[in-house]
Amino acid sequence: MAQRTQRTRKSRTDALSRERIVEAAVELLDADGEGGLTFRALTERLATGPGAIYWHVRNKDEMLGAATDAVVAAALDIEPAEPPASPQDEIRAVALGLFDAIDWHPWLATQLATQLSRSPWSSVTPRIIESIGQQVRALGVPKGSWFTASSALMHYILGAAGQNSANGRVLGAGVDRSEFLDSVSTAWEKLDPDDYPFTRAVADQLREHDDREQFLAGIALILTGITTAYPPA
Amino acid sequence: MAQRTQRTRKSRTDALSRERIVEAAVELLDADGEGGLTFRALTERLATGPGAIYWHVRNKDEMLGAATDAVVAAALDIEPAEPPASPQDEIRAVALGLFDAIDWHPWLATQLATQLSRSPWSSVTPRIIESIGQQVRALGVPKGSWFTASSALMHYILGAAGQNSANGRVLGAGVDRSEFLDSVSTAWEKLDPDDYPFTRAVADQLREHDDREQFLAGIALILTGITTAYPPA
DNA sequence: ACCTGAACACCGTTCAAGT
DNA sequence: ACCTGAACACCGTTCAAGT
């Protein structure tokens, strides 16, 4: 009697699944960066062997792809504002959603680049294009330019967010943000005046800039470009 | 007599150097992608052992950084137009220089993302900021917005070029470009109409788009934004 | 100062075997 | 159908030893 809890098979809730694997992968990536995701660490955390994981997932690349897709999907799952905001505001919300996701999951920046360069237009791209595109349409951009306008926004967002994820990563090691920017800025000021006059001149703008504000200023520039090039009827 | 060519030491021109190592690294990356650059392959090509390489280079990361920097520097080494072109044209030239570099060296896209996210504002960033910034200044942008405007351009360029390097990579395997785009486009058209109305609607714009043209259209949009937000005096 | 090459710890992936 | 875990080939890096 009693002690029936002992089971040869894993209990139902412990059962391995693609979903649980991807979840664990994201946790490892968040905790220890790209280097932290190994099959060794993963099998330990999931209390299985590598063979079990390979039953649910083709290989590590696919696993990374699924992790990226999951995080991006969550980031873009924004409830529409009530009352409805302007297209500009909605675009800002989408952009900030991705910006923050990369800020929270610094490995996402590199992964998106790898991801997009392996299977360019699949999985993650439609999600982003859709979120941005619906607002581009609402902005009154003529249909023939939908693809151009939304691609431009997407590229800027991915480029900028990728660069900015850096700060978060560097700061991880107990480095003060303003201290860090100050050191880079000082380095810029020491560049060769003949080769780098402009960089030297903006060194103090780098020192004082705010990531988020700067990111939104870029979005604003592109939105201005879009509404100027395609004036609403 | 004769046969003095035999030497214990490497001949002077064969001598290992950081420069030769980086050069070989770039060749391996170009030939076989990121996976192609291993210390095994490198030692074979340079006819040495791993220890020799470690004498000139701290580790693989530093080597990748140096390779990236070298390729970017070469890409930005554009001779100024004669007679001088408009700032817009110069910006287009810089942008296309990077675009083409990533097209030629597809590994550059991922590497730039990794690179920038490890040491955000160092090495490669000043080169890009400088090339773009000088033209931003010539455009009449007020000094206080130099950093904002050039950052926005840089982020777009890196984001867009990264995405586009994909095509080149996929096509490597004997895949026809239009055939490939057609398949992706068809996949987009099959997405859920409720979740992806916009993506479905632009599927045929994806099918027919020209990478370079699209890239320049994005640049044009940002330039319009810049000149509208900061009208020349 | 510069190079050699064996050795080390670790990685992704496979596969015969179990249930 | 799903999981186990030993084994394999390969990787970046180190280091005592040579010249």
Q: Which residues contact B193 (CB under 8 A, 6 or more apart)?
A: B200
The per-residue pLDDT for range B175-203, each reduced to its tens digit, is: 778 888 899 999 999 999 999 999 999 99
The pLDDT tens digits along chain B (233 residues) read: 333 333 334 444 568 999 999 999 999 999 999 999 999 999 999 999 999 999 999 999 999 999 999 999 999 998 877 888 999 999 999 999 999 999 899 899 889 888 877 777 778 899 999 999 999 999 999 999 999 999 999 999 999 988 877 666 666 666 778 888 899 999 999 999 999 999 999 999 999 999 999 999 999 999 999 999 999 87
Q: Running DSSP on this structure, what letter comes out for residue A115?
A: H
A-facing residues of B in 152-211 (CB < 8 A) are 152, 154-160, 162-163, 165-167, 169-170, 184, 187-188, 191, 195-199, 201-202, 205-206, 209
Within a 10 A sphere around the Cβ of A42, how many other Cβ atoms? 21
Domains identified in chain B and CATH numbers: 84-229 (1.10.357.10)
Determine whether the interchain pair B221/A220 forms a contact, defined as Cβ–Cβ distance below 8 Å: no
Q: How far apart are CA B206 and CA B204, in angstroms?
A: 5
Sign of the alpha-carbon torsion through B135, B138, B140, B143 = positive
Q: Which residues contact A104 (CB under 8 A, 6 or more apart)?
A: A30
pLDDT of residue B170: 63
pLDDT of residue B169: 63
User: For A65-117, where are the E strands, in sequence order?
Assistant: none
Q: Which residues contact A79 (CB under 8 A, 6 or more apart)?
A: none
Within a 10 A sphere around the Cβ of B85, how many other Cβ atoms? 14
Q: Which residues contact B225 (CB under 8 A, 6 or more apart)?
A: A220, A221, A222, A223, A224, A225, A226, A228
- Mean per-residue pLDDT of chain B: 89
The per-residue pLDDT for range A100-151, each reduced to its tens digit, is: 999 899 999 889 888 877 777 778 899 999 999 999 999 999 999 999 999 9
Which DSSP string do the residues of A143-211 spell out, in sequence order? GGGHHHHHHHHHHHHHHHHHHHHHHHHHHHTT--HHHHHHHHHHHHHTS-TTT-HHHHHTHHHHHH--H
Q: In this model, does residue A3 exceed pLDDT 70?
A: no
Q: Note the pTM of the prediction, 2 decimals.
A: 0.91
Mutate to test the interface with A, among B127, B141, B221 (most CBs of A within 10 A): B221
pLDDT of residue A7: 37
> Alpha carbon of A175 to those of A49, A183, B55, B158: distances in Å?
38, 11, 30, 27
Share above pLDDT 70 across residues of chain A, in percent, rounded to a whole number: 90
Once rounded to an integer, what is the mean pLDDT over residues A166-180? Answer: 71
Out of A110, A133, A218, name the one closest to residue B113 (CB): A110
